[in-house]
Chains A and B, each alone.
Chain A
Amino acid sequence: MSDVTTAPPDEPEVEAQEAVRETPFWQRLVSGSSTWIGLILVGLILVFSLLDPSAFVDSANFRNIATDAAVLLVLATGMTYVIITAGIDLSVGGVLVFSGVVAAKAMNGAGGNNWGVIILGLVVALACGMAWGIFNGFLVAKARIPALIVTLGTLGMSLGAALVITGGVDEREVPFKLISTIGIGRAFNQIPWLVIIAFSVALVFGVILAMTRFGRYTYAVGSNEEAARRAGINVDRHLIKVYALQATLAGLAGFLSLARFSTTTIGGHDTDNLQSIAAVVIGGTSLFGGIGTMLGTVFGVFIPAVLNNGFIIVGVQAFWQQIAVGAVLIGAVYLDQLRRRSQDQR
């Protein structure tokens, strides 16, 4: 047989050298979409630094940016998993508020100002989130209702339930120890605990996504659900786990928000879902599933945060930030489309 793509079966060693190559690590790094997003972020930081070095390049300013982005980063971490499975979760803001409300009620009910109460509140917040997530995941995976509809429904349900519990009035009592430590405390008097927690969450779940079987299945389910099923992966159970993870992280975000603002901020999370989806998509994760990295999500969270902060500092109306983020979002999705189109032409 004289065709070029088939190695003769009797001499596989000869072909082995050249038939199969691997792209070197640095080349994958350069061509990866998260690298480009990272460069855009670096570029933004450079531009603002040049425009106003004294105000922008300042540890207090960077601290502000990171603190503002911390809660969103926790939400976006979970959203990365959900979107990689080709799903979506609109309920995060509602679940965040619900978890915060129930956790505040629980802490105030137990009373006291010590770590025991704080841990109680954390566990309650995580459990509330997880319950909503299992509900979401069950409806998506087993009842086969589109995730968009399921989570739109649970967004309203969780937010409504929070309003019913509180009578529409924010819960303003939070143990002071929680505020003074997690809320506004800093490690070594420098790095806010909120930021450390948020980055740790992103790091841990980024490693899980990239290096474990759980992560591999997340990509596989989003890439080709039927192929995953036929490969023996329990797709339904995996989807339930992913939605449960996202909502549990929303519960954690609710707890962090409680610590930071010392109130339940019921009315302040209407756009959390869109912000976290935007961050994930800007970070190179594909809405069609199967593609995405946690590093990209981190960049995607910080691009809007840096834009917002930079515009204020250089004296541009902050409203421009919304316009700029919208443009970046559309650009990111367009790039994803282009890449898919060029692949489909094969």
Chain B
Amino acid sequence: MPEPLLEARGIVKNFGRVRALRGANFAVYPKEVVALVGDNGAGKSTLVKTLAGVYEPDEGEILFEGEQVTLHSPLDARRLGIETVYQDLALAAELDAGANMFLGREVMRPGLFGKLGFIDKQAMRVQSREVFNNLGVALQDTTAPVATMSGGQRQGIAVSRAVNWASQVVFMDEPTAALGVVQTRNVLDLIGRVREQGLAVVLISHNMPEVFEVADRIEVLRLGTRVARFRRGEVSMEDVVGAMTGAITHDGEEHHR
């Protein structure tokens, strides 16, 4: 096993008296799909937001390519090539797909117009169309507001945006939670394609069949700590569910290596 790309060690995060993370560990290796699973309230979203720079941990350290890093804001995480697809997608519904893809990172017109703040809509449209095509996200109309699109298409846009800007890791928080069967299928295929592009994917989910289909490894959180990690093929669904519910515990570093 190579060195982890991104690693969390002993992360503690409290919200007032709520202890969301109690010394959680987590690791992402290059070019893998790792599922982060756990019951509701296990701390999955808090851990992801900590690694995405949304929250600063109260204790513990974050390592990127083996070096300790401090993430004060999502922008810091982004600079390391880490992007997040949030559960609520964080799309501006009245803007079109290309505008969302480049939101906050607009392409400026060349020359004087660009210096005056003029944006290059055409360039952004062309580039985003390319990304959608490469990832197989089918949109009928790239100039239509995102509000007019289906849940699956919106998910596709949010994932495409993250993939386009990520150079290392993409976090996906429950990407299929609100989707139908066909759309879920598409997103799972999309995750595979993202891995093919050389990125690591962290999939947050509690849908076991999905996790077993796409994840190379599974890490289990329970009550704010990691209680188990497995490789796919070495474990049954019952074992994972057992770890989630507390029936089984082994955070086996030795098992893992």
Asked if A220 is an interface residue, CB under 8 A from chain B, the answer is yes
0 or 1 for each of B144-171: is its CB under 8 Å from A? (1 = yes) = 1101111010000000000000000000
Distance between Cα atoms of A213 and B134 in the complex (Å) = 27
Contacts of A291 in B (CB 8 A): 94
Asked if A211 is an interface residue, CB under 8 A from chain B, the answer is yes
Q: Which residue of A lies closest to B181 (CB)?
A: A3
Contacts of B140 in A (CB 8 A): 20-21
Contacts of B150 in A (CB 8 A): 346
Q: Which residue of A lies closest to B130 (CB)?
A: A16
Distance between Cα atoms of A117 and B145 in the complex (Å) = 49
How distant is B128 from chain A, measured CB to nearest CB, in Å? 9
Contacts of B193 in A (CB 8 A): 9
Contacts of A12 in B (CB 8 A): 133-134, 136
Q: Are A212 and B91 in contact (CB under 8 A)?
A: no
Which of the four size classes fits the interface of chain A?
35 or more
Q: Are B189 and A1 in contact (CB under 8 A)?
A: yes
Asked if A227 is an interface residue, CB under 8 A from chain B, the answer is yes
Asked if B90 is an interface residue, CB under 8 A from chain A, the answer is yes
Q: Are A216 and B99 in contact (CB under 8 A)?
A: yes
Which of B103, B134, B141, B147 touches A231 (beta carbons < 8 Å)?
Answer: B103
**Contact A231 B119, CB 8 Å, known A12-B134, A220-B95:** no
Asked if A114 is an interface residue, CB under 8 A from chain B, the answer is no
Asked if A233 is an interface residue, CB under 8 A from chain B, the answer is yes
How distant is B186 from chain A, measured CB to nearest CB, in Å? 5
Q: Are A5 and B90 in contact (CB under 8 A)?
A: no
Distance between Cα atoms of A344 and B145 in the complex (Å) = 12
Q: Are A6 and B136 in contact (CB under 8 A)?
A: yes
Chain A 1-59 interface residues, beta-carbon cutoff 8 Å to B: 1, 3, 5-9, 12, 15-16, 19-23, 28
Q: Are A224 and B104 in contact (CB under 8 A)?
A: no
0 or 1 for each of A303-346: is its CB under 8 Å from B? (1 = yes) = 00000000000000000000000000000000000000001101
Which of A28, A213, A227 touches B90 (beta carbons < 8 Å)?
Answer: A227
Q: Are A224 and B182 in contact (CB under 8 A)?
A: no
Contacts of A28 in B (CB 8 A): 143
Asked if B125 is an interface residue, CB under 8 A from chain A, the answer is yes
Q: Are B185 and A219 in contact (CB under 8 A)?
A: no
**Contact A23 B144, CB 8 Å, known A3-B186, A212-B118, A231-B103:** yes
**Contact A223 B152, CB 8 Å, known A1-B185, A12-B134, A211-B118:** no
**A residues with CB within 8 A of B:** 1, 3, 5-9, 12, 15-16, 19-23, 28, 208, 211-214, 216, 219-220, 222-224, 226-228, 230-233, 289-291, 343-344, 346
**B residues with CB within 8 A of A:** 74-75, 78, 86, 88-95, 99-100, 103-106, 108, 116-119, 121, 125, 129, 132-136, 138-145, 147-150, 152, 182-183, 185-186, 189-190, 193, 196
9 contacts between A and B (CB under 8 A): A20-B140, A21-B141, A23-B141, A220-B95, A223-B94, A226-B90, A227-B91, A233-B104, A290-B93
